[in-house]
């Protein structure tokens, strides 16, 4: 199971980071970031069912919505990853700024889909 590999990788990364933290905090941060990137790479290999589902949505004529959904998902994941890295480095103000920026960008990316949904509801209620 993939979760066991991810948990083992996270545990090894934590131990390495904790050992390095007292003597070489810069290397501890790099080890932590490298472990996080490896975990992301491990998880990204399993994205095919989600991508197939979104592709199935596009076959039903919802291609624009599925592309928008993928972009919002990407923005959310990248924003969360960058925010967590900032927090790990001790930069909580930068982490909060990245969180806010990610949320705003995701909302802006989803705006056309929300407008389309509201237009459909409005047409349904009026007709």
Total domains in the chain come to 2
**Whole-angstrom distance, CA of residue 31 vs CA of residue 72:** 29
Structural domain for 106, as ranges:
47-127
Q: At residue 22, what are phi and psi to the nearest 5 degrees?
A: -75, -35
29 and 91: one domain?
no
Q: What's the mean per-residue pLDDT of the chain?
A: 85
37 and 67: one domain?
no
Summarize pLDDT for 6-65 with one digit per residue, the tens.
889 889 988 998 899 889 988 988 998 898 888 888 888 887 887 787 777 767 766 667
83 and 122: one domain?
yes
Q: Span 65-76, mean pLDDT?
A: 82
Report yes or no: 39 and 10 within 8 Å, Cβ to Cβ: yes
14 and 68: one domain?
no
Global pTM reads: 0.64
60 and 38: one domain?
no
């Amino acid at each position: 199971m993939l979760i066991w590999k991810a948990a083992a990788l996270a545990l090894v990364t934590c131990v390495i980071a904790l050992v390095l933290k007292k003597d070489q905090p810069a290397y501890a941060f790099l080890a932590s970031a490298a472990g996080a990137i490896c975990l992301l790479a491990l998880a990204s290999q399993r994205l095919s069912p989600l991508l197939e589902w979104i592709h199935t949505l596009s076959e039903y004529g919802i291609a624009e919505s599925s592309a928008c959904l993928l972009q919002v998902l990407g923005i959310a994941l990248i924003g969360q990853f960058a925010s967590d890295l900032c927090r790990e480095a001790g930069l909580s103000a930068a982490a909060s700024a990245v969180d806010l920026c990610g949320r705003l960008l995701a909302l802006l990316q989803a705006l056309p889909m929300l407008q389309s949904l509201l237009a459909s509801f409005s047409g349904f209620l009026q007709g």
